Amino acid sequence: MPADRRISRRLHSRQDWAVARLILLNGPPGIGKSTLARQYLGDHPMTLLIEIDGLRAAMGGWAQHEESKLQARVLALELARVHLATGHDVAIPQYLGRPGFIDQLEAVAAEVDATFDHVVLSHDHDEVAQRFRSRRTQLDDGDVQHPQADVGGDEIDAEVADAQLRLANLVSSRPGIHIVDMRVPDPYELLIGVLS
């Protein structure tokens, strides 16, 4: 038996913790996924924040290698699996408009007897587009290479509209998705409410 399987089984034998949860914070670029994730970390010690774009950008020459996208997701799945198996939560703020990787995340949670919470953040199109532009300006001013730089300034409105349509389709086709309306006074309080 491979060493990682032995470790996993040994970890599974422990019964001294609450059930870990894998929280996917999904939503269009710029809506505030990472902000909410960091608030959750502040209140839930030992929660692991997995920024998939950050994993990708940590690879040498990632921008010239399309396979870095897939590799970042593979790494995210493995990080989540190991951390959940020790009984700790994982938060992944990432826009996902297609079900494939969502299914993989859900399968990892099931594999280690963790819960899977898929949360979609919503806001008005214009507000999301403005936040996206502000983030792009910050990244450009800081000369930071980031996957979102692939979207040109004149493409942001179309990108946001496409993301919102894909997310609406996910919500209508997948029962159990939680919705957090970012227009409320305290979105974090609403997030904790839907996770309770």
| CA gap 159, 128 in Å, rounded | 10
Distance of alpha carbon 86 from alpha carbon 180, whole angstroms: 28
What's the pTM? 0.85
Bigger pLDDT: 6 vs 182: 182
In CATH terms, the fold of domain 3-195 is: Rossmann fold (3.40.50)
pLDDT of 144 reads 57
**Domain limits, the chain:** 3-195
Per-residue pLDDT for 116 more than 60? yes
pLDDT more than 70, % of the chain: 83
The Cα–Cα gap between 112 and 12 comes to: 7
